[in-house]
Structure formats: structure tokens, C-alpha cells
Amino acid sequence: MKKYIIAIMVSALITALTACGASDSKDEGATEKAQVSETASAKDSQSDKVNENGTIEITDAMGQKITFEEQPSSFATLSGGELDMLLALDANVVGRPSSQGEPAEALKKIQEIGNPHQPNFEKIAEVHPDVLIASPSFKQHAANLEAQGTKVVYTQANSVEDILKTLEMFGQMVGKSDEADKVIAGLNEQLDGVVDADKAGVKTLLVYGSPGSYLAALPNSLSGDLLERAGGENIASDFPKEENYPQYASLSTEKIIERNPEAVMLITHGDPDAVKAAFQGEMEKNPAWKNLDAVKNGKVTVLPSHLFGTNPGTKVADALQVMIDSLKEAQSK
């Protein structure tokens, strides 16, 4: 079969992919506290600790070891998911991501400081946090900020485990490790409670993109991890990784047709209706797409952007439930 490759415009995805795990368009969710029920699961080998002399040592998502001489008293973040987790621990947040809509009343008193792709350095300097939580892409800007006394701590959200590790690290920095452990335990209970093995084996293609630019989400992405936990089969699991975004791969029409997904799930940080319409337009350009089971059966869906187009924070169990429900829908006639 002649190989067709859907046009990939990686430059158009830079902003969207950077924002994945970043600004949450539904800020009101950030004020809700996670339910707690039992002690946390055993910690991994992460070297976060409080020394006898009172200093705090953490290792962030980039492997950067950071020592605080005393407990940080103020935090700022460019990510909605991290904002949600900090607020779940009652941290003193002085800077938050800029809202795409009307923020919840409780957030209005917190200064907006931009987004991962457009940080507002003037506002960050104005609130002068002890700690700025940022994604690895912010590293190019970190030196100037750290010279002013703000420490930059990097996080990532490429899996459920990443989110739980971030919560653990935040608990250490905020001085509320016990509270963080309870939140983690509550999340683990919720995650275990929504597992549905009956949906195993649903062949699924996860597509992340914006109109005209699409990539397949791999198992080492958050959506890929959630699909695996939900019992689905990622048909793009062996697609070659993008060099700059190893959690994603180019879409190979030939392989997709060969593997014939039962469900196609679209992930976007922008307008979901526009992305779905544009993607359907791409499929119509290649008649072979029309023969896919997912297309013939109307199983092309858009996943909620606040749970999949960005880091869902303490709502990660909700994201898993949505994934399970989407797999059930794919199996329905």
C-alpha cells in the first residue's frame, strides 16, 4: 500500500504541547480539595528530605537537586495542574496561570503571571515568589529569575506516577508531607476504584493536535498511561518518537489503517469542536480512513481538554474515569 503521511507541522504544536500539563482552562477546579482516606503508599527512591539542620532537599523532574535553607513561604506556577495541587495542600500561592475565562472567585486574589509559552516576567518579579513551579521548557529563562532569589522547580506530568511524585515533592516544600500523603492515598483509592478490566483490548488511536497539525500520543504520555490503566490498546505504541517531544509520534496513515482502531480519541488544548472538524476533514482527504472501524461506527471523540489537554492535577482519577467511559462507548453498538 502506498504510504501516506498526514502533514505534521510540529512548530504549530510547540505551544499546545508545552501547555500540556500547563494552564488549565477550568480554573475553578483548582480550588477543590482531593478526598482523603488512608495513609500514602510507600515512597520511591526520590531523595526529598528534611535535614537535621532544618534545610530541605528535593529532586525535581529534571533531576535537579535543590536545597532550601528554610521552608519556602510563597509559590507561583504557570500550570493549572500544579496550581490545583498546591491549593490542595493550602500552600501560599501568589502567582497563577492566566485564565482563559472567568476564574473562580477564590482565585481572583492571586496574581496572573502568564502561561508556560508566554510567561509574564514583569508580573513574576512583582509577586517575587520563593519558588516558581515550571515545566522543563522554562529552563532557558530560569537564570535571570534565580538571580533575583526565586528558585525554579521543574515538574512533569507524563504519567499518573509523575503527578503523585509531584504531590509528594510539594508536600515536602510546603511543610505538609502528611497532608500530601493523605491526598496521594485518596487518589490511589480513587484510581483503584475506577479500574474496569472488562474494557481490555479496545484498539485505540490517541491524537493530540490543533487544526492542521496532529501527533499520536504514545504510552509514555499521560493520556497513553491512562489508556493503558483503563485497559485499552494503544495502536501507536511502537511508532517512532518525535525528537523534541518523545511522548508523541507522527501519524502514519498506512500503519493506522493496518491496525484498524476501534476508537479514535482527540486531545487538544484549544477549541475541541474546531479540532474535531479539522481532523475529520483530514480523514475525508484520504478515503482509506473511511474504512476504519472507529470512523465507520462513529467512535471518533474529543476528550475533555481540562483533563487531557493539560495536567489534571488532583483530578487525574476523573481523567481515568473518562477514559474508561470512552472505551465503553467505543464498544457499544
Which of 247, 227, 245, 243 has the alpha carbon at shortest distance from 235? 227
Q: Quick one: which H or E segment has residue 190?
A: helix 177-193
Contact 180, 164 (CB under 8 A): no
Q: What gap in Å lies between CA 36 and CA 236, rounded to an integer?
A: 36
Residue-level pLDDT at 87? 96
Tell me how crowded residue 27 is: count the other CB atoms within 10 A of its CB: 26
Amino acid 265: pLDDT: 94
User: Which is nearest to 323 in space by CA: 267, 270, 280, 243?
Assistant: 267
pLDDT for res 277? 79
CATH 3.40.50.1980 residue window(s) in the chain: 10-19+196-331, 38-193
Angle between helices 316-331 and 222-230 (to 10 degrees): 60
Residues in the chain with pLDDT values less than 50: 1-48
Which CATH architecture describes the domain 38-193?
3-Layer(aba) Sandwich (3.40)
Summarize pLDDT for 206-256 with one digit per residue, the tens: 999 866 678 999 999 999 999 999 999 999 999 999 988 899 999 888 899
pTM for this one? 0.81
pLDDT of residue 100: 67
What integer pLDDT is reported at residue 51 of this predicted model? 63
The one-character DSSP state at 212 is T
Judge contact between 310 and 80, C-beta under 8 A. yes
Yes or no: say if 95 and 123 are a contact pair by the CB < 8 Å rule.
yes
* Topology of the domain comprising 10-19+196-331: Rossmann fold (3.40.50)
Contact between 94 and 85 (Cβ < 8 Å): no
Report DSSP letters for 94-131, one per residue. EEEPPPSSPPPGGGTTSEE-EETTEE-HHHHHHH--SE
pLDDT in tens, 147-182: 999 999 999 999 999 999 999 999 999 999 999 999
